[in-house]
Amino acid sequence: MSGGQGGSRIGPVAWFALTVASAAFFLLFAFTYGPMLTADGARDAAYARYMSAVGYDPFAYLAGAEEATGHNHPISLAGYLIFIALLAFLQQALGSLWLSALVVLNAFAQTVAVVLTAWLLRLAGVGGIGIAVAVALSFACFEGYQWVAMSQSDALFVPIVAGTWALSWIATSGDSPRWRFALLMGCCALIAVGAFVRPTWPPLAAAAAATAWLSLRAQASPGRIVGDWTRLMALAAVLAFGATLLSAAIMWNPTLLPGDLLSGAVARWRPFLEQGVVVISRPETYLQDTDSYWGFVRTCLVRLPYFFEIRADGFSGSHQLINWVGHVPLYILALAGLVLALRLRVELPPALRVAALSAATYVFCVASFHAMTILDFDWRYRAPMYPLLIFLAGLGADQILHAARLRLTQPEGRQEAGTGRPIKRSRSSNEAA
């Protein structure tokens, strides 16, 4: 991988300072904004007490938790098994301090995500200013870390997603077969852990497989990365649309499935589609005349752009302002980073191009998944995507700064992105996608 903007080295002292500063920021936030026991958190705490009572037996827990606690889970008990076990341990070990301990863990999980994103940018060849912009966005995007102060599993899921994405493209870019295998096994292990922290893991597995394939293809034919990614995303879009049609058909006519298969999911999600609910408890997003098969489809499709929404009628003025300050530059710079990765005329190291395109793949897969299910009123399902969007934004900021410098110093010459060297047109880089 190439050196970043200016090629300066970021030493261990700087990385240590970033880690300490991030941890201090999130801990301060956690204990000023929270600790906060949410409605979901109170339910999960009751589940955790029952898990302790059955001696951490997962089968006994799954069989009796809802009846014993009086809380029916809206999705899946199994999808939170590791998280509930963690809560049970904290309750047993620390008693009434369990919530404070959880938000401390949340703060360190968010710190891991910030430092990992910065390190991946450096590994990909992005310079100090691009990394600084990425770190600043990590602190500016309030909706990416507000869950740190709450009794939710979202904050712990964020570094799992970031780690899975990192391993899925780093693992296939090395030369050692043993190293590749070890990293891919690590990626699979993280997905397995994530499957029992939050039930929103399926798009994670799909995106990891797509990234591994893209990275392997990049090694075989570096000049065709963009073409391969374009075909991959076209296939993903077709599959997502097909899945939307299928899920809408099942919700509209549950008899398409044998017996009571998915009856619980249908009973929970169908009323939202009948009422045109795009974002739960945000009436301004609701659609009209959706009580039909094509109305169900339309509601799901409209949810996709709403996954990235930053406005809501119920947000305070300060919340709206914070969202605009953080998300407008995030989205603009992330789009710039993606455009850079798609430009074949700009010579980038294949691993950097794969990293950027795979980040966009993860974002698309997760957004599509939630479009077919539901968007919660606080947009917390977007939280795991922030490290990937911030990675793209750091790349975009680095390139914009580099282009501005080139216009001042060498307005007539094209340069290699992020290196200050003239682009060398190779046969592979000129290959048609």
pLDDT tier for residue 350 given thresholds of 50, 70 and 90: confident
Domain-embedded: residue 63? no
Q: How many domains does the chain have?
A: 1
pLDDT level of residue 152 (50, 70, 90 thresholds): very high
Q: What is the pLDDT of residue 134?
A: 97
* Average pLDDT of span 322-346: 92
pLDDT, residue 265, reads 74
Determine, yes or no, domain membership for 96: no
Residue 184 falls within a domain, yes or no?
yes
Q: Residue 415 forms beta bridges with which residues?
A: 422
Give the residue-averaged pLDDT of 165-182.
80
Asked if residue 73 belongs to a domain, the reply is: no
pLDDT-derived band at 108, boundaries 50, 70, 90: very high
The domain containing residue 390 runs over which residues? Answer: 114-142+159-409
Provide the pLDDT for residue 7.
46
What's this model's pTM, rounded to 2 decimal places? Answer: 0.89
Compute the mean pLDDT over every residue in the chain, rounded to the nearest whole number: 87
* Contact between 208 and 187 (Cβ < 8 Å): yes
- On whether residue 89 sits in a domain, the answer given is no
The pLDDT score that the predictor gives to residue 431 is 37
Kindly state whether residue 183 falls inside one of the protein's structural domains.
Answer: yes
For residue 421, tell me if it sits in a domain. no
pLDDT at 8: 55
Q: Is residue 27 part of a domain?
A: no
Give the pLDDT band of residue 2 (cuts 50, 70, 90).
very low
Report how far residue 342's alpha carbon sits from residue 404's, in angstroms, rounded to the nearest whole number: 19
pLDDT at 141 over 70: yes
